[in-house]
């Protein structure tokens, strides 16, 4: 076995890249990066009924959006079927596997007999030592592995510890079906061996498969890769993650306005942690991650936590970087395409200038769309219900004074100059600053919340600001 770590992510293309799969890919990727190894990608498309090219494309798209790059070309498991057959036939030649000609009716009878005794269904080994010449004429047999019948198979797992399986429970499972197609159990072992995989990191729902797969490795005399079975993600209520909990494809998280880096940070912390570190960069995760530190217990998915981490990443990011991600994500966000259609050099510059104030209040890119909407609004502004309450008759009188004071700022239109002028209006009228600032914000943005109102004045510029205030006075 080489010293270089080779991990693999091996999704089935039956749907999108869901959040559990994304975390498995992340752990494989982080471990490969941490050890200066490589991560390979294999599409487990042997189930022809359920596999489809659109799903494969969605998985590749999801990984790419997250920045989880793989080495080399993705491998199709289905295309490797001739090699899987070759290994199954080799095991027969070596006396480690055999052709079984049990009929569907015989197999059903075995299942019934086991059920009647309250036992799990097991194949009874009736063809294990029979001569193939006894096979019914023209029957195509399935190939079964000769599983050990005594003792136990031990899986040395870096997350679960040492897991022991009594061999009497393993039975002689099928590795090649009678139609010549390999089973998933067999294909995985041959592919992992041929691809040089040294470390298998996958969900703990595969733990019992690990014992059966070890039987195939041993029969071929191949090294068993290091195994790590990570706990599944549960919903906030402790039940297995489902659609209602957030078991959505990663493209849904993009549409909800989460940053790839924040989603990876959140997923990394589902089942793995590094001291009290909450917010981590990709670089931090790579340098700190070790598969041996993953917890055995299931992690719970929590949207509020994800949102808080996302907000922290948005605030930590430089304005220029956040601006680029925001513009690039607009097509996927609710209300985003309309905003993207109205982008021009002038409002792009305004958006960049407004970002420091906008990102303080937003936890997702959707909230950023909402917060930035005032920059793209056409006059007269639509006024939301809360803002309308701030624009009563008294407020309009105050706005007249504010308009007059701001109109006098001919030469220096800055946030500081605007603030000084508005403070004077408040003092002169015997008002608190808020009594002037709140209706001013409503007039300028159509909302009751926004970045600092003086920053809003500076970003919108003199002409647009005065026109928006005038619309509410007249």
183 touches 175 (CB < 8 A): yes
**pLDDT tens, 253-300?**
999 999 999 999 999 999 998 888 999 999 999 999 999 999 988 888
Percent of residues, the chain, with pLDDT higher than 90: 75
- Count of CA atoms in the C-beta half-sphere (13 A) of 428: 11
**pLDDT tens, 420-470?**
999 999 999 999 999 999 999 999 999 998 889 999 999 999 999 999 999
Active site residue 243: yes
Region 346-365: mean pLDDT is 94
Q: By three-state DSSP, how is residue 144 classified?
A: strand
Q: What's the angle, vertex CA 316, arms to CA 314 and CA 322, rounded to 5?
A: 45
Report pLDDT for 98.
96
Q: Calculate the average pLDDT of the chain.
A: 92
CB atoms within 10 A of CB 152: 14
> Rounded CA gap, 325 and 347, in Å?
16
Report pLDDT for 136.
83
* Whole-model pTM over 0.85: yes
Report pLDDT for 2.
56
Domains and CATH numbers, the chain: 79-230 (3.40.50.620), 250-376 (1.10.1160.10), 385-473 (1.10.10.350)
Using DSSP, how many helices (H) and how many strands (E) does the chain show? 20, 12
Report pLDDT for 242.
65
pLDDT-based confidence at residue 206 (cuts at 50, 70, 90): very high
Q: What is the dihedral of CA 386, 392, 394, 397, to 10 degrees?
A: 100
Q: Does residue 52 or residue 74 have the better pLDDT?
A: 74
253 touches 303 (CB < 8 A): no
Percent of residues, the chain, with pLDDT higher than 70: 98
Report pLDDT for 244.
59
**pLDDT tens, 191-205?**
999 999 999 999 999
Report pLDDT for 243.
60
Contacts by residues 79-82 (CB-CB < 8 Å, ≥ 24 positions apart): 80/187, 80/190, 80/191, 80/194, 81/46, 81/181, 81/182, 81/187
pLDDT-based confidence at residue 135 (cuts at 50, 70, 90): confident
Residue 168 has pLDDT above 80, yes or no: yes
**pLDDT tens, 56-102?**
999 999 999 999 999 999 999 999 999 999 999 999 999 999 999 98
Report pLDDT for 154.
95
Q: What's the angle, vertex CA 307, arms to CA 304 and CA 313, rounded to 5?
A: 145
Of 117, 243, 283, 432, the active-site residue reads 243
Report pLDDT for 410.
78
Report pLDDT for 417.
93
């Amino acid at each position: 076995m080489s010293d270089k770590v080779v991990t693999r992510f091996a999704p089935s293309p039956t749907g999108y890249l869901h959040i559990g799969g994304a975390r498995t890919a992340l752990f494989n990727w982080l471990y490969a990066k941490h050890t200066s190894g490589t991560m390979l990608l294999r599409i487990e498309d042997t189930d022809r009924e359920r596999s489809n090219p659109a799903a494969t494309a969605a998985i590749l798209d999801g990984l790419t959006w997250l920045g989880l790059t793989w080495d080399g070309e993705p491998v199709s498991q289905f295309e490797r079927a001739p090699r899987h057959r070759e290994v199954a036939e080799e095991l027969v030649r070596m006396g480690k596997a055999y052709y079984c000609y049990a009929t569907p009716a015989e197999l059903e009878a075995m299942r019934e007999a086991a059920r009647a005794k309250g036992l799990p269904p097991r194949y009874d080994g009736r063809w294990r030592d029979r001569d193939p010449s006894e096979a019914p004429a023209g029957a195509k047999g399935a190939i079964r592995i000769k599983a050990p019948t005594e003792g136990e198979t031990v899986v040395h797992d870096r997350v679960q510890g040492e897991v022991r399986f009594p061999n009497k429970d393993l039975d002689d499972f099928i590795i090649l079906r009678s139609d010549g197609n390999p089973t998933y159990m067999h294909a995985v072992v041959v592919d992992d061996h041929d691809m040089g995989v040294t470390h298998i990191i996958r969900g703990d729902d595969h733990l019992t498969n690990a014992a059966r797969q070890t039987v195939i490795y041993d029969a071929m005399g191949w090294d068993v890769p290091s195994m790590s079975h990570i706990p599944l993600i549960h919903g906030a209520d402790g039940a297995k993650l489902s659609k209602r909990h957030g078991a959505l494809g990663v493209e849904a998280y993009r549409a909800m306005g989460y940053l790839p880096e924040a989603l990876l940070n959140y997923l990394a912390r589902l089942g793995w942690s590094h001291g009290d570190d909450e917010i981590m960069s990709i670089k931090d995760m790579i340098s700190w991650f070790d598969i041996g530190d993953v917890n055995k217990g299931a992690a719970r998915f929590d949207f509020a936590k994800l949102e808080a981490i996302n907000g922290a990443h948005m605030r930590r990011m430089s304005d220029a970087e956040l601006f680029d991600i925001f513009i690039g994500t607009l097509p996927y966000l609710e209300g985003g395409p309309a905003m993207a259609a109205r982008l021009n050099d002038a409002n792009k510059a305004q958006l960049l200038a407004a970002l420091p104030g906008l990102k303080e209040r937003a936890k997702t890119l959707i909230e950023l769309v909402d917060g930035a909407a005032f920059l793209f609004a056409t006059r007269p502004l639509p006024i939301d219900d809360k803002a309308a309450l701030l624009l009563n008759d008294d407020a309009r009188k105050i706005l007249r004074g504010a308009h007059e004071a701001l109109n006098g700022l001919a030469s220096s239109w800055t946030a500081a100059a605007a603030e000084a002028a508005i403070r004077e209006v408040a003092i002169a009228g015997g008002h608190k600053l808020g009594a002037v600032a709140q209706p001013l914000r409503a007039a300028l943005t159509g909302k009751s919340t926004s970045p600092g109102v003086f920053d809003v004045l500076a970003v919108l510029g003199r002409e647009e600001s005065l026109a928006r205030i005038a619309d509410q006075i007249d």
